[in-house]
Amino acid sequence: MDKLFFSTLECPNGYEIAEDVLNSSGSLIMTKNTIVNEDIRQKLLAFKVDRIAVRETTKIVNTDNNPKADIIAFKRKYQNSVNSVKEIINDLAAGRGLDNEKITEISSSLYENMFSNIAVTECLNKIKIADEYTYSHSVNVSLYSMLIGKWLDLPESEIKLLMIAGILHDVGKSKIPIDILNKRGPLTKEEFEVIKMHPLLGYEIIKDNTSINKKVKEAVLMHHEKENGTGYPFGIKSVNISSFAKIISIADAFDALTSERVYKKRQTPFDTFREFERIGIGEGQYDPLILLKFIHNISQYYVGSRVMMSTGKFGEIVYVPPHNISNPVVRVDGSFIDLSAQRGMKIIEML
């Protein structure tokens, strides 16, 4: 389908962006195939993107000028997915079989209703269910894995498999004692050793299921392995870890760190980026190419987010430097504050 060119301000709702949009430093700010609506248009204008290439699309999309409608629709779809994951886990805990059809329905439904990367990140930032973490975490990992797959330019078939791997990655926890799984506090060393069995337990559940792709099975088994060999259950290194497992491990860690838990408050994405830089790159725990692709892209979608500062004041993120992602520029009371130059001042909460 031929490309059309519009000024960003005049581009009609409902068109599909035809090519990735980059900012002046080469950072990705909008992926191709994103559907134009008022929220997307304002995001592009904020980055001073005056002209875009688009194409017509036959997709059924939500192009309302009120982005809240997108979030409401997403919340409904999200909660349905969490409920379905809960049913799958409870069935397995009760000794019943794995519902392959339900798993495919969840991944397909989420994939087909993801109208833009912005919607995913904004909604996941707002929806954090501490009391249903085990179930919501699986959905979140599926969605973050979908984004990573898109940013790595994987084909649609691979992205859908990644999403299934995200849904199933913690399925082995259905065999972990509930008092350990739902403990309202940090685990003891002995309890953590039990938790560390869940990749093997999950693999045992799905290994003979011919409806589940081999790549999904490998991701379930290896998603806690680390590039430097410090992971579990086998302590294997990079060359022996599947590509799906490398992606799932990053999505898993990001959601775990940025989620509310019954015993801890969630970190901000920027504290998490800082931790990823320390353990992921500094200590070599994660695949550096996948990790950098993830934090480089997802960090840009927090531009425009309202935040609470450590000073007690409210602010808005206006720029995320591509070479200093964990220290954005924030507008507070009309002044622009570069957090890389401000000792002791930081973002403490995303609003």
The one-letter amino acid code at 232 reads Y
Considering the domain architecture, whether residues 132 and 203 belong to the same structural domain is answered as: yes
Helix (H) or strand (E) holding 17: strand 16-17
- The domain in which residue 82 lies consists of 67-266
The pLDDT tens digits of the residues spanning 108-144 come to 888 876 645 556 676 677 666 555 777 899 999 999 9
> Cβ contacts of residue 327 below 8 Å, gap of 6+?
270, 321, 338, 339, 340
Q: How far apart are CA 197 and CA 186, in angstroms?
A: 17
Provide the CATH number for the domain around residue 20: 3.90.105.10
Helix (H) or strand (E) holding 348: strand 347-350
Q: How far apart are CA 60 and CA 139, in angstroms?
A: 23
DSSP string of 67-97? HHHHHHHHHHHHHHHHHHHHHHHHHHHTTPP
pTM: 0.81
Q: How far apart are CA 37 and CA 255, in angstroms?
A: 27
349 contacts 307 by C-beta, under 8 angstroms = yes
Considering the domain architecture, whether residues 262 and 317 belong to the same structural domain is answered as: no
339 domain residue, yes or no: yes
The pLDDT tens digits of the residues spanning 35-56 come to 888 878 887 887 788 889 998 8
pLDDT at position 60: 43
Considering the domain architecture, whether residues 191 and 227 belong to the same structural domain is answered as: yes
Q: How far apart are CA 126 and CA 22, in angstroms?
A: 26
307 contacts 347 by C-beta, under 8 angstroms = yes
pLDDT at position 342: 84
Considering the domain architecture, whether residues 183 and 248 belong to the same structural domain is answered as: yes
> Cβ contacts of residue 134 below 8 Å, gap of 6+?
89, 170, 173, 181, 182
95 phi and psi angles, rounded to 5 deg: 90, 5
